[in-house]
Structures are given as structure tokens and as C-alpha cells.
């Protein structure tokens, strides 16, 4: 690909404009001068997800009904970043709201990723929280009833393989966190020797 020109936006019209999603219909001209009359773009808020690990090396997960897929799903705590909130503050808030767990340690940033660069503008910011403990009960909100589950890393590996944990950003975050923990533990052993 030699041509790396940006596309030109001719017009934008909001088809849906709600607090959760904005659906935009754009007219644009590609780098090859092709006109696309109906390029739909989803403007979701950025969101965060958190891999929360207890001192016993168990991972905190949530099980909740997901209406769009018509079934219960197991995932890591996640949610949108509120206006004026930093991503790490959103991660701490979502962890507490969905699970009742908190940590006194700093949240470890594992990365940020576009959710779908083909038609969405938002990113997911992934964090690791270590030494978490339960300080309260999960909050009850309309449409979001969570059940807290704990799994070992071995159980998580099996749950991913069998499709029990099947949301891509949970799988990615769990793999990144596991890799980070293994690297830290390996470095600790090397320093100790």
C-alpha cells in the first residue's frame, strides 16, 4: 500500500443519538476517489475492563444475562467511562459496582484497543487489579444483575477453550494479565536467586 491518504468526510448525519450510542451516516470519499454514500459509524463511549486477582491468585469474574445474545455470559468486570472520569478511575468504579471488590494497590494498565476500527470509534482500556478483596456487595442496577464468580487460572484456560468465557475483550484481557503476572513472577524468582 503506497497510498496512505486519509479519506475525506463530505457530510455526517446522526441517525441515532442516545447517551449509549450514536449512529452516524457519513458520506465520504476514499483515497481512490470513490464516493461512499452510506458509511455507518457507531460512536460508543470508551469503556474499561478489569482483570481482578485475589491474594489467593483467583480471578474475579461476573456472570450476567446478555440480552443481545440471549444467554448468560461470564466475563471480567467492564463498563463505560463516564464523562470527566479517567480510565483508571472508571476501572476501579466498575470493579466495585459489579463485584464489590476493591484493591489498595495501583491499577496496572495493560493496553488500549479499538473495539472495531471498521465501524466504531471507541476503545477499551484494559487493567489488572491485584490483591483485591470484597468490601461490599455488588450494586443492583436495572438491566445489570451480576453474580460474582472466582476461577483459578487453570479453570479460566479451560473456560476459554470450551467457550464458557467467549467475549473477545475478556479473553484478550485475561491473556494479557496472565502474561504480565508470569513475567513479574519470573523476574521475582531471578532477583531472588
Cβ neighbours of residue 33 under 8 Å, at least 6 residues apart?
none
pLDDT digits (tens, 9 = 90+) for 39-86: 999 999 999 999 999 999 999 999 999 999 999 999 999 999 999 999
With residue 95 as reference, give the H or E element that holds it. Answer: helix 87-99
pLDDT digits (tens, 9 = 90+) for 88-138: 999 999 999 999 999 999 999 999 999 999 999 999 999 999 999 999 998
Global pTM value: 0.90
**Are the C-beta atoms of 42 and 120 separated by less than 8 Å?**
yes
The CATH number of 47-192 is 3.90.79.10
Angle between helices 168-192 and 153-162 (to 10 degrees): 150
C-alpha distances (whole Å) from 34 to each of 10, 13, 19, 119, 121 are 12, 19, 33, 18, 22
**Are the C-beta atoms of 51 and 128 separated by less than 8 Å?**
yes
**Cα(59)–Cα(143) distance, integer angstroms:** 24
**Cα(26)–Cα(42) distance, integer angstroms:** 11
* Coil, strand or helix at 49: strand
Domain boundary assignment for the chain: 8-43, 47-192
Residue 192, pLDDT score = 46
**Cα(29)–Cα(10) distance, integer angstroms:** 7
> Does the pLDDT value for residue 190 go beyond 60?
no
> Does the pLDDT value for residue 191 go beyond 60?
no
How, if at all, do strands 35-43 and 22-29 pair? antiparallel
Amino acid at each position: 500500500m503506497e497510498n496512505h491518504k486519509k479519506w475525506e468526510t463530505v457530510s455526517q448525519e446522526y441517525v441515532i443519538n442516545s447517551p449509549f450510542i450514536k449512529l452516524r451516516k457519513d458520506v465520504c470519499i476514499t483515497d481512490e476517489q470513490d464516493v461512499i454514500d452510506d458509511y455507518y459509524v457507531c460512536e460508543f463511549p470508551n469503556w474499561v475492563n478489569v482483570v481482578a486477582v485475589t491474594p489467593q491468585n483467583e480471578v474475579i469474574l461476573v456472570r450476567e444475562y446478555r440480552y443481545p445474545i440471549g444467554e448468560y455470559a461470564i466475563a471480567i468486570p467492564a463498563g463505560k467511562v463516564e464523562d470527566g472520569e479517567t480510565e483508571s478511575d472508571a476501572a476501579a468504579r466498575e470493579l466495585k459496582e459489579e463485584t464489590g471488590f476493591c484493591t489498595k494497590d495501583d491499577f496496572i494498565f495493560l493496553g488500549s484497543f479499538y473495539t472495531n476500527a471498521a465501524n466504531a470509534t471507541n476503545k477499551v482500556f484494559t487493567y489488572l487489579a491485584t490483591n483485591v478483596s470484597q468490601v461490599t456487595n455488588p450494586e443492583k442496577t436495572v438491566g445489570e444483575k451480576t453474580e460474582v464468580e472466582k476461577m483459578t487460572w487453570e479453570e479460566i484456560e479451560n473456560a476459554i477453550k470450551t467457550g464458557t468465557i467467549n467475549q473477545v475483550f475478556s479473553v484478550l484481557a485475561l491473556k494479557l494479565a496472565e502474561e504480565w503476572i508470569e513475567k513479574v513472577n519470573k523476574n521475582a524468582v531471578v532477583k531472588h536467586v
